[in-house]
Amino acid sequence: MQHPHTAATSLSNTACRQRDSLTGFILKATLFSKRSSPPAGCPCANILQAPGEIRVSDGPDWPRGPKPANLHHIPPGFCRTRKFILHFSLRPKMVMTSVVCEATIFAVDQGLAGGALIGSGVLLTSLVKLVEEMHGSKEMCQDLIVEVQSLVPQLETMLKNDNITTSKDVLTRYETLLREVQVFLQNHRDSKLWERVTKHWKMKKFVQQFYVDLAKIKNLLVLKQHEEAANWHGGIREMFDRYQRIDKQAQTALSNDLHELMTQIEKHKFIDGIGQDKYVAVADLKKEWKDHHDMYTTPQLKQIKCILQKAIKLVPGSDSHLERWYLSCSDFRFDERSPFATGTFRSLYYGTLVSGAEVTIKIVQVDMGDNETRSKFAKEAQKWYNLRDPHVLPLYGANHINSPMVFVCGRAENGNFNEYLLTHRQKFWQVFLDAARGLAYLHKHHIVHGNLKCSNLLVTKNGVGVLSDFVFAFVRANSALSLKEQAPDYFWKAPECFSENPRFESDVYSLGMCIFEAMSGVKPFADVEEEDAINKIKKGELPHRGGNITDEAWNLITEMCTRRFQDRISLEYCIARLQLLAEREQEMSSQRPCECTTHCCLECGGRRHFTTEDTPSKPVSETAPVLAAVLIALKGLSKKIEDSIQTDGHTYSASG
């Protein structure tokens, strides 16, 4: 008999019973009704009041993780007729799988013979439909979907035998794979014929990677279900045979597409088939020829060469040389719905290259006929692409032919200097030393940055400071292309820049203003009207110092930001000063307790000093001596390696 306050109703009798839009999970469990209030003292009261994630279990086998502070243990016999473990989150899109009533719920009803029904839902059905609608490579994709569906029985078994906490990693990976396959199939289905030809080898690579991901999920299932390894000895051979089959299917699909494209050209239907994308189509065909000509068979080589020659004749002005930095839109991926910064004509996204490298995508909207802006864009891309320095954000490529235009550059995972220094104050002078070194590299290549401010000084995932946005002169010249909510440049501008173009010394001034901004926490002249601020800058006046700026920092700022550029310290001297400050900063940091929040910090070897509120009260080096010793040893080994590469007074970099 059910507990009187469980509002004895199953999901089938409420609006909560839904097929999951992702994997088609059908949930069956007995839930507590939010509309019924249990009497005071009932254990249900604690559950209904518990904030955040609510976990219910009828026994001591709780899922991993702490119980909510105000959730008491449910007494034995509670809901004994319906054993289940329920995870309930008030926040959508958690690691659980099914969206029910705007909450994320996954329930495992151990009393049901089949457990949760997996893999027969909406998404897998849509994948089958997508493959049926495809025009090329259908056989290869059909095999992939069959393989994806083959995991369903094993997932069912896992859910019957495991609790959800130990299984959620497998489920999450499976769902992620399904969604990635869906996006991949949608893109391929919607591709034009010439697009299928130009991204054919990338498609094959994606299919192979999907099989690799499937194999990883299978391996996890083996571990979860404790199957004998002998059952999987044939896995390597199976993968080898599959790759051979994919190669054969890919060659057949490519030959069919090339034949169809050649037929279009011969029947003068090529231009009709590509529409406004004619210049993009020719450029992508050129890139395909350049990147993958060694992967075609001899007949295919003759076909694509003939196609390219005829396409160039059909599209006037398309016979120009293709730049080394040109990337087709199939060379990278990003979610157009999720920019992390937007403007009227410019947006920034996180994305990945086909190789898997994580990048930042900069989209610039431009009219199709605006050839002047496209030409400037191409010159900026050429300038940026040739720069290779650890303190300059790299450009992996760009596309100036497509609309919108695209820059694909490195990703700075730790944000800009202002964001990074909020939690890494002990690295203040080090990141500014990195920025100064990047600036010296630009000056060596006769490039003036001209737009230095803390929002353009970024930090990589390894804590290295890098320069960015130094080649967007064409963007800054057209205010419509700039991102919204950008502070006026005069905050950091040197006096001479109001009457002439920036010079190398102007960058030194702006770097000094960046030091002021980062240390004070406010922009230079932020409390002064624009006209008054410009007049003060022209006169050589500095912003109000404030109490946060140290004497050593203020002295450096005043020497970097003199009115006359001839009186400013050189960038070389500035780097020497910053290096001394960074070395002193590192020495002082090593003498005080680390401010890390992890037990595996490589800075302190795990010797974090806990506060009185922390538990355990002992430092990690005492509670985990082996881990601490390993970390300290690794740090010492790194130092020995650095020392060992110093020869005859010269230090050689890893790349050298």
Co-location of 42 and 92 in the same domain: yes
Range with the poorest average pLDDT among 215-229, 266-280, 606-620: 606-620
Structural domain contains residue 62: yes
Residue 496 or 229, more confident? 496
Note the pLDDT of residue 614: 43
Q: Between β-strands 84-89 and 358-364, what pairing exists: parallel, antiparallel or unpaired?
A: unpaired
Co-location of 293 and 357 in the same domain: no
Co-location of 317 and 168 in the same domain: yes
Per-chain mean pLDDT for the chain: 72
Q: How far apart are CA 432 and CA 512, in angstroms?
A: 10
Range among 78-82, 160-164, 409-413, 482-486 with highest mean pLDDT value: 409-413
Range with the poorest average pLDDT among 83-87, 323-327, 356-360, 545-549: 83-87
Note the pLDDT of residue 232: 52
Determine the length of the chain: 656
| Structural domain boundaries enclosing 111 | 1-117
Burial of 25 (0-12, 13-18, 19+ CB in 10 A): buried
Q: How far apart are CA 559 and CA 512, in angstroms?
A: 9
Range among 172-186, 474-488, 553-567 with highest mean pLDDT value: 553-567
Structural domain contains residue 281: yes
Structural domain contains residue 127: no
Burial of 14 (0-12, 13-18, 19+ CB in 10 A): middle
Q: How confident is the model at residue 398 (pLDDT cuts 50, 70, 90)?
A: very high
Residue 278 or 271, more confident? 278
Residue-wise pLDDT tens digits, 210-237: 999 988 888 877 665 555 445 555 667 7
Note the pLDDT of residue 210: 92
Of 269, 291, 322, which residue is a domain's last? 322
Note the pLDDT of residue 350: 92
Residue-wise pLDDT tens digits, 524-542: 998 889 889 999 999 999 9
Would you say residue 56 has pLDDT above 70?
no
Residue 520 or 114, more confident? 520
CATH of the domain at 503: 1.10.510.10
Of 410, 442, 459, which residue is a domain's last? 410
52: Cβ contacts below 8 Å, ≥ 6 apart = 68, 89, 90, 91
Residue 397 or 596, more confident? 397
Co-location of 92 and 163 in the same domain: no
Structural domain contains residue 656: no
Would you say residue 180 has pLDDT above 80?
yes
Co-location of 437 and 522 in the same domain: yes
Structural domain contains residue 129: no
Note the pLDDT of residue 505: 95
Co-location of 146 and 283 in the same domain: yes
Count of structural domains within the chain = 5
Note the pLDDT of residue 26: 28
Note the pLDDT of residue 323: 92
Co-location of 317 and 431 in the same domain: no
Structural domain contains residue 124: no
Would you say residue 51 has pLDDT above 70?
no
Complete DSSP assignment for 482-521: SPTTPPPGGGT--GGGGTS---HHHHHHHHHHHHHHHHHS
Structural domain contains residue 513: yes
Owner of token pair 């910090």: 601
Co-location of 181 and 166 in the same domain: yes
Are 192 and 199 in contact by the 8 Å Cβ rule? The answer is no
Range with the poorest average pLDDT among 192-201, 237-246, 444-453: 237-246
Structural domain contains residue 126: no
Residue-wise pLDDT tens digits, 291-316: 888 888 999 999 999 999 888 888 88
Co-location of 112 and 139 in the same domain: no
* Residue 168: Cβ within 10 Å count: 19
Would you say residue 109 has pLDDT above 60?
no
Co-location of 354 and 381 in the same domain: yes
Note the pLDDT of residue 231: 53
Note the pLDDT of residue 472: 54
Co-location of 542 and 611 in the same domain: no
Note the pLDDT of residue 653: 35
Q: What is the pTM of this model?
A: 0.67
